[in-house]
């Protein structure tokens, strides 16, 4: 007897926040390639359209929806659109995030609020709305609920100038663990990915500077990670292979925190 592919997501419906660029765009393609119908969610819907078209050109299923993760009404509307197109979302990738750099003494409180709204309030609203709908759709019986939250290696690695960003990502770790405990008998697994430094739209300009190059040279392997380094762990946490994994965080950082 031939075993089914371990990371097969056929029949699943995935919602990816921050899907307009970077890791969110990559995650959307990986999930679609594994068979999931994908809901591409972000504020910049014009950028989502290219990803939607690319997925559909490969034979996948995808829609683009406007979603501001810091706004509850926008989050609810995005889930409504997802259900209208594909049915209940059972795989939630809370990936939207933003960066903030600068010495703590110089950072405006408005910047603090903006980062926390996207990086901490955003995953809270995204996961909560998804969990509510999963439970209403019978997730305790189906056992297919998967929530994956993108944290960061900076949640437990100290880098100067990242107090607010690091604090938001550390908060995500503890919040996700509590959510996992709250929903442990509801057929919903909640886990966090802590990526190391990957060159994306958020940080690309920095790593092109001499100071950014010096930071890379301080990494044990003196290199940046690739977005593809997260593919396998994303599929693992989204699939039935992770049925016994909840409330944990997995660091993939190419040894950057050593």
Each of the 258 residues of the chain gets a pLDDT tens digit; together they read: 334 568 999 999 999 999 999 999 999 999 999 999 999 999 989 999 999 999 999 999 999 999 999 999 999 999 999 999 999 999 999 999 998 877 888 889 999 999 999 999 999 999 999 999 999 999 999 999 999 999 999 999 998 889 999 999 999 999 999 999 999 999 999 999 999 999 877 776 778 899 889 989 999 999 999 999 999 999 999 999 999 999 999 999 999 999
Q: What is the DSSP letter of 154?
A: G
Homologous superfamily, domain 13-250? NAD(P)-binding Rossmann-like Domain (3.40.50.720)
Rounded to whole angstroms, the Cα distance separating 75 from 132 reads 12
165 catalytic? Reply is: yes
How many other C-beta atoms can be found within 10 angstroms of the C-beta atom of residue 132? 12
Which one of 7, 165, 183, 219 is the catalytic residue? Answer: 165
pLDDT for the residue numbered 123: 98
119-163 pLDDT, tens digit per residue, is 999 999 999 999 999 999 999 999 999 999 999 999 999 988 899
- Containing 31, the helix (H) or strand (E) segment is helix 22-33
Q: Where are the chain's structural domains? A: 13-250
d(CA 159, CA 179): 27
């Amino acid at each position: 007897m031939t075993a089914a592919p371990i990371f097969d997501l056929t029949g699943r419906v995935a919602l990816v926040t921050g899907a307009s660029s970077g890791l969110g765009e990559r995650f959307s393609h990986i999930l679609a390639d594994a068979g999931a119908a994908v809901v591409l969610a972000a504020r910049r819907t014009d950028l989502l359209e290219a990803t939607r078209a690319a997925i559909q050109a490969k034979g996948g299923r995808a829609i683009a929806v406007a979603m501001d993760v810091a706004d509850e009404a926008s989050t609810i509307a995005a889930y409504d659109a997802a259900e209208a197109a594909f049915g209940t979302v059972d795989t939630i990738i809370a990936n939207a995030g933003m960066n903030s750099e600068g010495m703590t003494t110089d950072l405006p409180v408005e910047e603090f609020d903006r980062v926390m709204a996207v990086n901490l309030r955003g995953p809270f609203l995204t996961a909560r709305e998804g969990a509510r709908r999963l439970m209403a759709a019978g997730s305790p019986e189906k056992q297919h609920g998967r929530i994956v939250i993108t944290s960061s290696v900076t949640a437990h690695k100290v880098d100067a100038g990242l107090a607010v960003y690091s604090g938001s990502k550390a908060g995500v770790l503890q919040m996700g663990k509590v959510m996992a405990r709250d929903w442990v008998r509801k057929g919903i697994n909640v886990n966090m990915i802590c990526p190391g430094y990957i060159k994306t739209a958020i940080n690309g300009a920095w790593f092109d500077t001499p100071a950014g190059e010096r930071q890379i040279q301080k990494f044990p392997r003196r290199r940046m990670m690739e977005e593809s380094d997260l593919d396998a762990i994303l599929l693992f946490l989204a699939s039935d292979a992770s049925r016994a994994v909840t409330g944990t965080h997995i660091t993939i950082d190419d040894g950057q925190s050593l």
